[in-house]
Amino acid sequence: MASYTSPFAPSTSKPGHGSIRIALLPPNTPVLRDVSYQYPLKLVAPDPLSPPESSPDDKSASANRHVAPSLIHTIFLLTYGGGIVAGDAINLNIRLDKGTRLILLTQGSTKIFKTADPKLVSRQKMSAHLQVGSALCYLPDPVQPFASTAFAQEQIYTLEDGGGNLCVCDWVTSGRSARGENWDIYTYHSRNEIWESPSKSNGKKKLLLRDNLILDKNGQTALGIVARMDGYAVFGTLIIHGPIFASLARFFMVEFEALPRIGGRNWGDDTIVPELSQREKWRKEREKREREDGLIWSAANVRGFVLVKFGSRDVEGARNWLRDMVKEEGSVGRMFGERAGMCLK
Amino acid sequence: MNIPTDDHQSLKDEIVDLERRLRDAKAQLSQHEPDITPSAIRNDAALHPLLLLADSALPLGSFAFSSGLESYLAHHKPSLPSASQVSAFHTFLRLSLSTLASTALPYVLAGYRDPWNIETLDNDFDASTPCTVARRASTAQGRALLQVWDRSFKTQYDGATKGNHAQTNGVHGGTNVAVDALAAFSTALRTSKNVNAHLAPLWGLVTRILGVPLHDAAYLFLFSHARTVISAAVRASVMGPYQAQSVLASSELQDRIRGLVEEGWNTKVEDAGQSVPVMDLWVGRHEKLYSRIFNS
């Protein structure tokens, strides 16, 4: 084998591998230095757009402190056939240089197709390396594992010197509910990790956050996976970090604090309606929709991250809620443009 | 019923005689079974610390936590206020044990097996605990365990373990390493802001120092959790104390704990994670409850 010399040029691309690199041309022009991919992965990069907030008269905007780049790149993560087939392995590397920004999107839910062998696990791995001052906004469609599937995905973010800004969501649905699928999967694992790059002093990288969801037959519950889900059809995690997303992070914390108490009594004070601010009106309407859609959520400020968890009785309820929250706060739209929230429409 | 005095005396004599013969017979028998006594000694060296840790009077403050039960019950109010919540409780207990085994048990095992890694384990467990309520509960109990070690167990187990202890229970020569690692960790806790003192890895480390076999340490970790949740159910008026004891004694619970220890025995800490996603929501939303009797 070793003595065989291929007449073709060596290919560095392996099946399912892809890489994205955004570099910065001084003073502030980001360029897509590399975007490559190999079947079954496909990356589509539309023309970069100027951020809405870059207009010079908008000095009051908080994000201007972060020297916004002149262009924001967008990349769609796609797979041939619109989903992941049993045995597929996807491996994507992303590198964002200092001061660059990237919007990652999907086109429809990531469908996981049936496997004949429960032990044959399809995999998707994304590693993103963020230099100080760079930002990744990744608000994709949910993963939709069909019945009889085995899938494991990893999203590993490395923050150089602990810098870098993240607004990333990871959510999963119960399958094709129209076909009566309801968490009829073999296994579903999704791991989100955020690491601080190795420090110069001891050369060790440090785990900042790990969010690892494990759905499989283990757990001694003597019940199927669906019985652990308490009737919810969607679970999601939103991770927010860094100064660029500080306003969004604060917003989620404030709204969580403002949620009505569970089991609180109605003392009939509603008859005296105080003058509500616009935000309070929006909040009341949102809370009403949360109740109707059977959506519950929590937010926590831990280790410099705001971690939002949500569950919902159906997909659209969760999608609408997330869009509503991001839109009402507004900073993502102002800094990244409407495109950033495309998958939530 | 009057027995004549003579007969009375002879009966007494006969009893004394019979008792003496029984004693002799037992003594003779035990000479032929020399194993009984030494093995009993060997067992109680490991049994004693197990009893210490299993004691509900161990001041870890566990009674203050319901591990999400209170929030779960608030999210599952029966339509009739008088309806029983017992079946809801059973579901919760199952899910809660499953969650604890998937998230924390690997850290117990790693804390025991790899004492010098305690600081990294503590950091990684902290990074993996997604909500404020759960972190507070875990560090409160971890710090309490350190206190108990420092104030109560240390004098006995710090040096004494060099003797009979370490050799007789299967933790060969590793106890002093663990004592040193724990001392270093305690120092780091006082001096560094980045140390949290989560219960799971410390439970592993302390049980190792006390000479509790690893399997027992893991079993007790899950058992204590079940006991805490069941006891919370009693105080939340879900069930009475006798019913609670019967749940705790049930073979169903025994099998579950045993199965979870077996399942998690080789799980690496990197692969620890949430197996019941809605649990994070129940625990995280505990602070949104209108009225609370527990801290978690």
pLDDT, tens digit, for every residue of B207-235? Answer: 999 999 999 999 999 999 999 999 999 99
Q: What is the pLDDT of residue A54?
A: 58
Residues of B in contact with A259 (CB under 8 A): 288
Report the residue of B138, B285, B292 to disrupt the A interface, i.e. the one with the largest count of A CBs within 10 Å: B285
Question: Which tops the pLDDT comparison, A64 or B23?
Answer: B23
- Residue B166 scores a pLDDT above 50: no
Nearest CA of chain A to the CA of B58: how many Å? 28
- Write out residues 123-162 of B within 8 Å (CB-CB) of A: 123-124, 126-132, 135
- Give the closest residue to B205 by CA, choosing from B133, B120, B282, B277: B120
What residues does each domain of chain A span?
Answer: 17-259+276-344
Question: Which tops the pLDDT comparison, A191 or B73?
Answer: A191
pLDDT, tens digit, for every residue of B234-269? Answer: 999 999 999 999 999 999 999 999 999 999 999 999
Distance CA B265, CA A190 (A): 21
Mean pLDDT, to the nearest integer, of B163-185? 68
Residues of B in contact with A222 (CB under 8 A): 94
Q: What is the pLDDT of residue A100?
A: 96
Report the residue of A298, A305, A306, A313 to disrupt the B interface, i.e. the one with the largest count of B CBs within 10 Å: A298
Q: What is the pLDDT of residue A23?
A: 96
Alpha-helix runs per DSSP H in chain B: 5-32, 36-54, 69-75, 86-103, 105-113, 118-127, 132-148, 154-160, 166-168, 175-191, 199-209, 214-235, 241-249, 251-264, 277-284
Of A296-300, B81-85, B108-112, give the lowest mean pLDDT range.
B81-85
- Give the closest residue to B121 by CA, choosing from B65, B174, B195: B195
> Does residue B254 belong to the interface with chain A, where contact is any CB pair within 8 Å?
no
Q: What is the pLDDT of residue B218?
A: 98
Q: What is the pLDDT of residue B171?
A: 47
Question: Which tops the pLDDT comparison, A275 or B95?
Answer: B95
How far lies A250's CA from each of A103, A295, A300, A325, A336, in Å?
Answer: 21, 21, 10, 12, 18
Residues of A in contact with B97 (CB under 8 A): 220
Q: Answer whether A229 sits within 8 Å of B278, measured CB to CB.
A: yes
For chain B, what is the mean pLDDT?
Answer: 88
Nearest CA of chain B to the CA of A44: how many Å? 33
Question: How many other CB atoms are there within 10 angstroms of residue B174's CB atom?
Answer: 17
Report the residue of A210, A235, A306 to disrupt the B interface, i.e. the one with the largest count of B CBs within 10 Å: A210
Confidence tier at A8 by pLDDT (50, 70, 90): low
Rg (CA), chain A: 22
Which residue in A214, A301, A302 is closest to B275 by CB distance? Answer: A214
Q: What is the pLDDT of residue A65?
A: 52
The pairing of beta strand A101-106 with beta strand A135-138: parallel
Mean pLDDT, to the nearest integer, of A69-98? 93
- Residue A7 scores a pLDDT above 60: no
Confidence tier at B57 by pLDDT (50, 70, 90): confident
- Give the closest residue to B219 by CA, choosing from B243, B253, B179: B253
Q: Express the helix, strand and coil content of chain A in percent, nearest 5 each.
A: 25, 35, 40
Per cent of chain A over pLDDT 70 is 90
- Residue A58 scores a pLDDT above 80: no
Nearest CA of chain B to the CA of A191: how many Å? 9
Q: What is the pLDDT of residue B215?
A: 97
Confidence tier at A57 by pLDDT (50, 70, 90): very low
Q: Answer whether B102 sits within 8 Å of A297, measured CB to CB.
A: no
Q: What is the pLDDT of residue A59?
A: 44
Question: Which tops the pLDDT comparison, B38 or B23?
Answer: B23
- Residue B106 scores a pLDDT above 60: yes
Confidence tier at B2 by pLDDT (50, 70, 90): low
Residues of A in contact with B106 (CB under 8 A): none
- Entry pTM: 0.88
- Residue A207 scores a pLDDT above 90: yes
Residues 6+ positions from A282 with CB-CB distance below 8 Å: A328
Q: What is the pLDDT of residue A224?
A: 83
Q: What is the pLDDT of residue B170?
A: 46
> Does residue A201 belong to the interface with chain B, where contact is any CB pair within 8 Å?
no
Contact assessment for residue A242 and residue A99, using Cβ atoms and an 8 Å cutoff: no
pLDDT, tens digit, for every residue of A103-115? Answer: 999 999 999 999 9
What is the complex's ipTM, to 2 decimals?
0.90
Distance CA A157, CA A195 (A): 6
How far lies A155's CA from each of A2, A21, B213, in Å?
Answer: 35, 17, 37
Confidence tier at A261 by pLDDT (50, 70, 90): confident
Nearest CA of chain A to the CA of B256: how many Å? 6
Q: What is the pLDDT of residue B42?
A: 62
For chain A, what is the mean pLDDT?
Answer: 90
pLDDT, tens digit, for every residue of B121-149? Answer: 999 999 999 889 999 999 999 999 999 99
Q: What is the pLDDT of residue B167?
A: 42
Mean pLDDT, to the nearest integer, of A62-85? 81
Q: What is the pLDDT of residue A271?
A: 61
Mean pLDDT, to the nearest integer, of A208-221? 92
Q: What is the pLDDT of residue B248?
A: 96
Contact assessment for residue B211 and residue B176, using Cβ atoms and an 8 Å cutoff: no
